[in-house]
Amino acid sequence: GRPSICVFTCVREMLLPAAQPRFRGITHIFIDCDDCLYQNGWATARRITQSIGAYTATLGVSKDRAYQLYKEHGTCLKGLLVERILDEAGAEEFLTEVHKIDYSEIEPDARLREVLSAVLGVAPCWVFTASASEHAARCMAKLGVGGLPWQGIIDTRACSLESKHARSSFEAAMRIAGERHRSP
C-alpha cells in the first residue's frame, strides 16, 4: 500500500487512547519542536522572537519591520535574504546568534521520554522545526529525549529557509524521509 505520513502537532496527543488507531499503517512521523515536543506556554519561542528583534536591530531593521518580513516571506530570515539585508554567510550567523537563548524553562520529562520511546518503535521519527537544528537538539537534550533513536532533525536549512508551514517544507521533509511519491 501507499505509505502513510503522520504529523503530530503535539506529542501529548499521542497519550490519548483515540490516537492509537492512527498509528496503524504509519510509515513516517514528524514531531514539531517548539511548544509541541515540549510545552512551556511559548516561553522559549518568545525568547527566540526577542532575540530575532535584538539581532535585526543590529542590522538597522526595526522589530516592526522584522515582523513584516516574517509576514511577507514566511520567516524573518527569508525576508532578510530576499531584501538583500543579509547574504548566505549572514544567514548562518543569524541562525547561530538568534538561538543563543536561555533554555532554563525546558525541563526533563520522564513521561515524554517513555511515550516517545514507544512512538519511535512505530515508525521512523524526525523532529521538524522552523528553527535551526542546533536549537531543536538543545531542546531535546533539556527534555532528556535527545539520546532516543531519532532519524534526525529537519530544520529551516533543510527546507531552504522556508517556514515549516510552507508546502515546500513538507515536501522537503518527505524527501528527507525517503518518501518521493506523495504530497501533503
Q: Reduce the secondary structure of the chain to three states and give it as a string.
A: CCCEEEEECCHHHHHCHHHHHHHCCEEEEEEEHHHHHCCCCCHHHHHHHHHHHHHHHHCCCCHHHHHHHHHHHCCHHHHHHHCCCCCHHHHHHHHHHHCCCCCCCCCCCHHHHHHHHHHCCCCCEEEECCCCHHHHHHHHHHHCCCCCCCCEEECCCCCCCCCCCCHHHHHHHHHHCCCCCCCC
136 CB contacts (<8 Å, ≥6 apart)?
Answer: 33, 37, 127, 129, 153, 155
Residue type, 7: V
The residue among 85, 36, 34 whose CA lies nearest residue 59 is 85
Q: CA 101, 152, 18 angle in degrees (round to 5)?
A: 95
* pTM score: 0.85
Three cell numbers written together for 27: 510509515
Query: What value does the mean pLDDT of the chain take?
Result: 87
The pLDDT of residue 12: 56
pLDDT per position as a tens digit, 148-181: 999 999 999 999 999 888 899 989 999 999 886 5
pLDDT exceeds cutoff 60 at 146? yes
- pLDDT band of 125, cuts 50, 70, 90: very high
The CA-to-CA distance between both ends of the chain, in Å, stands at 17
Nearest 5°: phi and psi at 76?
-60, -45
Residues forming a β-bridge with 145 = none
Across 4-32, average pLDDT: 65
| pLDDT at residue 104, as a whole number | 95
